[in-house]
Amino acid sequence: MTQPAAIDKVLVMEKNKAISGAKKLLDIMLPPTCPGCRAIVGPPGGLCPECWEKMTFISNPGISNPGVSGPGVSGSGCSVCGHPFEFSRPPTTGEGAVICGPCARETPPFGRARAAFIYDDASRKMVLAFKHADQTEWAGFFASMLERAGQELIPDCDLIIPVPLSRKKLFSRRYNQSAEIARQLAKRSGKHFAPGLLGRIPTRGTKKASQASLGLRARFENVRGVFRVPAKYAPRLQARSILLVDDVLTTGATVRSAARTLMAAGAKNVDVLTLALVSAPK
């Protein structure tokens, strides 16, 4: 090893030691907390045992164990939208894959949708804190949950794209929660993060209502035609497989509208991956 190379190696080692020391000091001053209850936890980016037990995690459809693990919901899930069934039945694979009634009546514009856990009393506070209370340090933890939930989707994708926020919401929150977890997921999986390929059409005159304030049918009307792919980015979508990332899947109105836009712009197919799933949207 030449002298300059040896010096560079020593400098890198010293830099890494300094970063490690700074992280340890930060953990002492601001110890990592549980996203569910804010209790101090050992390793950063994890749930405490009590909150972990309360979570209802969703298993991938087509495997031998029930569709969800944890209290409240059981049964296998739809191989398309990922919604757990309220009854238990032996799952099937391939051409015999189990499909729910809504997906059988109308094929969604996306290929598959998966979520990490059920959106319920145990997870709601955690998700809302990440979404509205500047808890972006939990993005890595949530990305690890998406990595588990999307193990059958991630290898098949070329690009990871987050569902974009409106300009007003982005200005008020200062960050897009879906983009934060999608960015971390791309780092963990080695896939390309492409947030600019999908955008929202600015609203003029008529004010768009928040999805959370609307009923089932109104949600679909509210997001009809709100997404766009900028013309200069359309070539990057041609024949590409897209993994669309969002935080909560309620009725599926938002991801359906986004998936239609991506497919119309030339995407080969679109799969959807979300943190939480509302099991029985109203």
- Domain spans, the chain: 9-51, 55-103, 108-202+216-282
Residue 154 has pLDDT above 80, yes or no: yes
Collapsed DSSP state (helix, strand, coil) of residue 129:
helix
Is 98 exposed, middle or buried, given 0-12, 13-18 or 19+ CB atoms closer than 10 A? buried
In three-state secondary structure terms, 36 is coil
Give Cβ neighbours of residue 168 (< 8 Å, ≥ 6 apart). none
pLDDT at 21 over 50: no
Mean pLDDT over residues 64-79, rounded? 56
Tokens of 50: 């009590």
pLDDT at 19: 43
Please tell me the number of Cα atoms within 13 Å of 84 on its side-chain side: 29
pLDDT value at residue 266: 95
- Lowest-pLDDT range, 10-24, 68-82, 110-124, 248-262? 10-24
User: Which contacts (CB < 8 Å, 24+ apart) does range 90-99 have?
Assistant: 91/61, 91/62, 91/63, 91/64, 91/67, 92/62, 93/62, 97/61, 97/62, 98/61, 98/62
Instruction: Taking residues 252-270, report their average pLDDT.
Output: 95
Q: What share of the chain is helix, strand, coil (3-state, %, to 5)?
A: 40, 15, 45
| 108-202+216-282 maps to CATH 3.30.300.30 | no
| 130 pLDDT above the threshold of 70 | yes
**Highest mean pLDDT: which of 90-94, 166-170, 251-255, 261-265?**
261-265
Q: Contact, 114 vs 152, CB < 8 A?
A: yes
Q: At what angle do helices 177-189 and 139-149 cross, to 10 degrees?
A: 60
Q: How confident is the model at residue 18 (pLDDT cuts 50, 70, 90)?
A: very low
Give the pLDDT band (50/70/90) at residue 93.
very low
Q: Identify residue 166 by its one-letter amino acid code.
A: S
What would the mean pLDDT of 60-78 be, rounded to a whole number? 55
pLDDT tens by residue, 184-239: 999 999 999 999 999 998 766 555 555 454 544 555 555 666 899 999 999 999 99
